[in-house]
């Protein structure tokens, strides 16, 4: 039980840090994103962190984060559609259902992301590009090819037609083999430094998450973060971060003190 609790806490920390890693993209004046959510209330399973574009020419980004305490396994084409004992749907099925829900709501399109520190196996990794999307070879391989076998398995497990599966796969992003907890902490620090924010464990801690910008005040409120960019302009005129945060009362821990 203790090991399970430790793993769950590590997973919470990882999800929290990755969400912050993504949301920091809202700060630059030339950010392509206008706002983001942590635990989006209407995003299905792709709700851990979301980013929404400034204009309809860019797809909205919906992310599910999966952290594993060791590397005893990796994601293969088959692993993605395996169900765990306590769950009714596989990881990929959850993302598929989320995509079905979201594609009608986003005029500029939608990307559904799986981010994990688990890597991909060769059968899947051979089709993953640097953009985390699936290569053209994944769609053109015949039914007896490796790609064809994965497509056939996914279509069967998801209950999707070949056409619908292809549309889903073009929206799918698999960011596998991403940083572990220690490296992610360092990457968050780097991104915070670039934005003139405090570094280290204290400002990153999900129980006492704080940043400080000279000349701006701080607030602390419990709840689910809904982060907006309200204005543009030079860095020196960056509006207080509080103006881009809206809260509800349903989250289980506190987000930043500003």
40 Cβ contact partners less than 8 Å away, ≥ 6 residues apart:
46, 47, 50, 62
Evaluate whether residue 228 is within a structural domain. Answer: no
pLDDT for 22? 94
Domain range for 18 is: 2-175
**Which two structure tokens, joined as six digits, stand for 86?**
């306590």
pLDDT for 230? 41
Evaluate whether residue 256 is within a structural domain. Answer: no
Evaluate whether residue 194 is within a structural domain. Answer: no
Evaluate whether residue 151 is within a structural domain. Answer: yes
Give the CA diameter of the chain.
63
pLDDT for 166? 98
Evaluate whether residue 96 is within a structural domain. Answer: yes
Evaluate whether residue 129 is within a structural domain. Answer: yes
Tens of pLDDT, residue by residue over 43-62, are: 999 999 999 998 888 999 99
Evaluate whether residue 211 is within a structural domain. Answer: no
pLDDT for 213? 32
Whole-angstrom Cα distance, residue 143 to residue 124?
15
Q: How distant, in Å, are the alpha carbons of 25, 71, 142, 207, 255 from that of 221?
A: 22, 36, 54, 12, 7
Evaluate whether residue 193 is within a structural domain. Answer: no
pLDDT for 219? 29
Task: Give the orientation angle of helix 146-158 with respect to helix 162-171, to 10 degrees.
Answer: 100
pLDDT for 218? 30
Whole-angstrom Cα distance, residue 38 to residue 42?
11
* Tally of structural domains, the chain: 1
Taking 70 as the pLDDT cut, the residues of the chain under it are 1-4, 200-258
């Amino acid at each position: 039980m203790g090991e399970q609790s430790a793993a769950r806490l590590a997973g919470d920390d990882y999800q929290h840090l990755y969400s912050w890693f993504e949301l920091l993209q809202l700060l630059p004046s030339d950010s392509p994103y206008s706002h983001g959510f942590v635990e989006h209330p209407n995003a299905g399973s792709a709700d851990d962190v979301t980013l929404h574009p400034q204009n309809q020419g860019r797809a909205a980004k919906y992310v599910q984060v999966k952290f594993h305490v060791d590397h005893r396994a990796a994601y293969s084409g088959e692993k993605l559609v395996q169900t765990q004992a306590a769950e009714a749907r596989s990881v990929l099925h959850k993302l598929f259902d989320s995509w079905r829900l979201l594609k009608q709501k986003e005029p500029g399109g939608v990307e559904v992301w799986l981010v994990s520190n688990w890597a991909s196996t060769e059968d899947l990794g051979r089709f993953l590009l640097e953009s985390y999307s699936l290569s053209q070879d994944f769609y053109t391989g015949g039914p007896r090819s490796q790609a064809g076998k994965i497509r056939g398995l996914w279509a069967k497990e998801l209950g999707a037609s070949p056409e619908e599966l292809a549309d889903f796969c073009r929206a799918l992003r698999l960011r596998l083999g991403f940083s572990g907890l220690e490296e992610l902490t360092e990457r968050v620090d780097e991104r915070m430094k670039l934005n003139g924010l405090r570094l280290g464990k204290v400002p990153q801690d999900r129980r006492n998450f704080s940043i400080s910008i000279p000349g701006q005040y701080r607030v602390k409120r419990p709840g689910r973060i809904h982060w907006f960019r309200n204005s543009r302009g030079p860095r020196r005129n960056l509006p207080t971060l509080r103006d881009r945060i809206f809260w509800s009362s349903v989250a289980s821990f506190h987000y930043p003190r500003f």
